[in-house]
């Protein structure tokens, strides 16, 4: 998506350790106009799919997922990161290793908000090694719901996540795929 690629070129900052900072328009300050254009693009890409619910993970996926849910006219559920392992039978649970914080979180979704009748579109801001998505897919599987697709704002194509997800035969639509980025020159190229 040209608009998003141009914005990443203009305002994205490449940090050591393969981290792309997009704090000025996605991860801290949020450009809702941009999110709205992204949502319209996913609506086009997933046209014809019967989506009943959007699923994301806190915190950084929530803004994008909320605007996307508005476009699809469905509710959005976010998986919660829980500090203490609370073995509550009313929750679906999984473990996710955070790429940015390098720690493992227990993640939960209440059984009240996800059921076998649901057709899910998963939305997140970044795809790196795919741990966050694997966790969300596990939760959907536990619920017996159907994954209709995954929408990602920025995929880092040089990390393994995208390949792993596509190998599973899931429709994955990343609006910008970074081919390479250099923390010394700041150069970013797209696929």
Residue 26, CA distances (Å) to 57, 61, 114, 144, 145 in order = 14, 9, 27, 31, 29
Nearer to ligand 5GP, 22 or 69 (CB): 22
Pick the closer one to ligand 5GP by CB: 61 or 148.
Answer: 61
Task: Indicate the residue among 97 and 111 with the shorter CB distance to ligand 5GP.
Answer: 97
Query: Considering the complex, what minimum distance in angstroms separates the CB of residue 132 from ligand 5GP?
Result: 4
Per-residue CA distances from 6 to 10, 12, 35, 60, 144 (Å): 6, 10, 14, 21, 39
Q: Within 13 Å and on the Cβ side, how many CA atoms surround 67?
A: 22
CB of 100 to ligand 5GP, least distance (A): 5
Supply the minimum distance, in Å, between the C-beta of residue 163 and ligand 5GP: 12
Bridge partners, residue 13, by sequence:
21
Spatial distance between the Cα atoms of 47 and 45, rounded to a whole number of angstroms = 6
Look up residue 16 and give its DSSP letter: T
Which 155-184 residues touch ligand 5GP, going by CB under 6 A?
Answer: 156, 161
Strands (E), 58-134: 76-82, 91-97, 104-110, 119-127
Query: Binding ligand 5GP by CB under 6 A: which of 132, 143, 172, 175?
Result: 132
* Residue (117 or 160) nearer to ligand 5GP, CB: 160
Among 122, 126, 139, 175, binds ligand 5GP (CB under 6 A): 126
Does residue number 108 form part of the binding site for ligand 5GP (CB under 6 A)?
no
- Cβ count near 173 (within 10 Å): 16
The footprint of ligand 5GP (CB under 6 A) covers 19-22, 27, 60, 99-100, 124-132, 156, 161
């Amino acid at each position: 998506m040209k608009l998003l690629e141009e914005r990443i070129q203009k305002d994205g900052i490449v940090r050591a350790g393969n981290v792309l900072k997009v704090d000025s328009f996605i991860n801290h300050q949020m450009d809702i106009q941009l999110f709205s254009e992204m949502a319209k693009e996913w609506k086009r890409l997933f046209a014809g799919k019967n989506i009943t619910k959007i699923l994301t993970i806190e915190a950084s996926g929530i803004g994008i997922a909320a605007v996307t849910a508005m476009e699809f006219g469905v509710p959005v559920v976010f998986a919660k990161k829980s500090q203490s392992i609370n073995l509550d039978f009313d929750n679906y649970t999984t473990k996710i290793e955070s790429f940015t914080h390098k720690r493992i979180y227990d993640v939960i979704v209440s059984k009240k908000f996800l059921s076998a009748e649901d057709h899910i579109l998963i939305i997140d801001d970044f795809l790196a090694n795919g741990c966050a998505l694997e966790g969300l897919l596990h939760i959907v599987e536990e619920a017996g719901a159907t994954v209709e697709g995954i929408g990602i704002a920025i995929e880092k194509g040089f990390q393994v996540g995208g390949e792993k997800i596509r190998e599973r035969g899931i429709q994955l639509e990343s609006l910008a795929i970074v081919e390479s980025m250099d923390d010394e020159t700041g150069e970013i190229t797209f696929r």
